Amino acid sequence: MNDVIHPTLSTTGATLGFIVSLTIVLISITIVIYVLMTLMFKNVLRVLGPLALNIIYFQMVYDACGYVSNGRELRSALGRWYVTTTPTARIILATILSIICIHAIYWILKQRREIINTFAIGESFDNLPMGIAFGGENGEVYQSNKIIESICEEFTGEYLLNANDFWRAVQRHARRNDDDITPEETPVIKREDNTYWLFTREKINIGIGEVYEYIAKDVTDEQNLITARNRGLNRLRDINKRLREYQHNVDDTVRREELLAAKMQVHDNMGTSLLTAKMYIKSEHSPVSASQVMQKWRNDLQLLYREGEDEPADAHILRLQDAASHLGIKLELMGELPKDFETLDLVYTGIQECMTNAFQHAKASQMYVAISKTDDEYVVSFSNNGEPVTHPVKEGGGLTILRKKAEKMGATIEYPEEKRFKIIMRIPFVR
């Protein structure tokens, strides 16, 4: 048959065609293998068609190359056509099959983005920014990602083979941690790279049964913020303590100055009394009588006697009750007064301000002050029997001053929504 064939295919063209056809076939086989490996079985038929066409094309080119290069007999009609057809037809055929192959590759890449399969899930699971694992009741590990496996190796020196052992290692590290210990259910642990990780374990139901979900989350930024906040709070407590000590020293200085002034007054009065007595004794026509001299001495001695005595603890309350009676208000005190000067002074200020409001706004005839103690604070309530409150309490003037004075001591003021005016003041114990 070779004597009737008029080949148009050169040796170079045959070699080039063979290379092209072999490349296309190999790509097609790779596509089919990829589809099978990624478990896209329902899409296998879509790539088997191009593969079959490319294999036929390869057989045709291989037959033609054997004829042109080695003089081997043509075995198929397709080989005969390939040898005798025009170069343009051969180029068009190679182009069409290449386009089919490229289209198959494009379709595979598109399917890879759109179809979620086991490999895609596993890849996404490993790329999560947190550690996660699932385990059974007896510690068997069903699934885990790279982050939690690296944490397990750091804590135990072993791979994550038993979830229960891993959780026990987490709890041991939480108890050994130099930082604040958190509850064992959600420990925060500082790792070797100075990052902080929050660990949780939760039992979840997945429909076919219950499993334990283990999560490790990087909370370094949050922990740094908490640490900075705690440092700031400690500095504020220290400043507040020093301010209280300073206020106490100021109050003590004021009391000492008042005491000194009183002593100077007694000294001056005694000197005046001595001069008056001397004048009376030496002068026959003294401008003062004996009774006046004696009365002046009595006054000085009474002042001296009062100076040497401690003022009764309830003396200020008695004076406030006396002042209230002049306003037509009966002041009733329930509970024990605080012992320290600062707290007592704040209570007195509250009584004075509430007494003014009871007289001016509530038209009250009785005012009640109830003092109680908890483990760490005094609770003082101020109320009266005046006219009902028709609108929310608005601070201003005396109430604003009272709040500012209370806040300097760390105390709080509340206005409960009740029928009549009421203030509740919570004063922490002075340490």
3-state SS track over 222-233: HHHHHHHHHHHH
Of the ranges 2-6, 241-245, 399-403, 423-427, which one carries the lowest mean pLDDT score? 2-6
> For the residues 352-361, what does the mean pLDDT come to?
81
Contact yes or no for 256/248 (Cβ under 8 A): no
117-141 per-position pLDDT tens digit? 556 666 777 788 888 999 988 888 8
| Same domain flag for 234 and 205 | no
Give me the pLDDT at residue 2, please: 43
Q: How many domains does the chain have?
A: 4
Q: What is the CATH number of the domain that holds 166?
A: 3.30.450
136-185 per-position pLDDT tens digit? 888 888 888 889 989 888 888 888 889 899 998 888 887 665 444 444 46
| Same domain flag for 191 and 286 | no
Contacts 24+ apart (CB under 8 A), 136-143: 136/163, 136/211, 136/212, 137/210, 137/212, 138/164, 139/163, 139/164, 139/165, 142/211
> For the residues 40-67, what does the mean pLDDT come to?
70
* Rounded-to-integer distance, Cα 288 and Cα 301, Å: 19
* Rounded-to-integer distance, Cα 300 and Cα 230, Å: 58
Query: Which element (helix H / strand E) includes 185?
Result: none
| Same domain flag for 232 and 255 | yes
Tell me which of 162 and 319 has the higher pLDDT: 162
For the whole model, what pTM was predicted? 0.37
| Same domain flag for 177 and 136 | yes
| Same domain flag for 141 and 243 | no
Contact yes or no for 72/85 (Cβ under 8 A): no
Query: Could you tell me which residues are beta bridge partners of residue 134?
Result: 143, 213
| Strands of the sheet with 141-144, listed across from one edge | 141-144, 131-135, 210-218, 196-205, 188-190
Last residue within a domain, chosen from 89, 115, 141: 115
Residue given tokens 């959600």 in the structure block: 186
Give me the pLDDT at residue 206, please: 79
Last residue within a domain, chosen from 115, 149, 170: 115
Could you list the residue range(s) of the whole structural domain that residue 421 is in?
315-428
Amino acid found at 251: D
| Same domain flag for 405 and 374 | yes
199, 196, 175: which is closest to 186 by C-alpha? 199
Answer whether residue 378 shows pLDDT above 90: yes
Last residue within a domain, chosen from 163, 196, 218: 218
Give me the pLDDT at residue 424, please: 92
* Rounded-to-integer distance, Cα 3 and Cα 74, Å: 12
Amino acid found at 357: N
- pLDDT tier at 362 (50, 70, 90 boundaries)? confident
| Same domain flag for 424 and 324 | yes
Q: What is the CATH number of the domain that holds 360?
A: 3.30.565.10
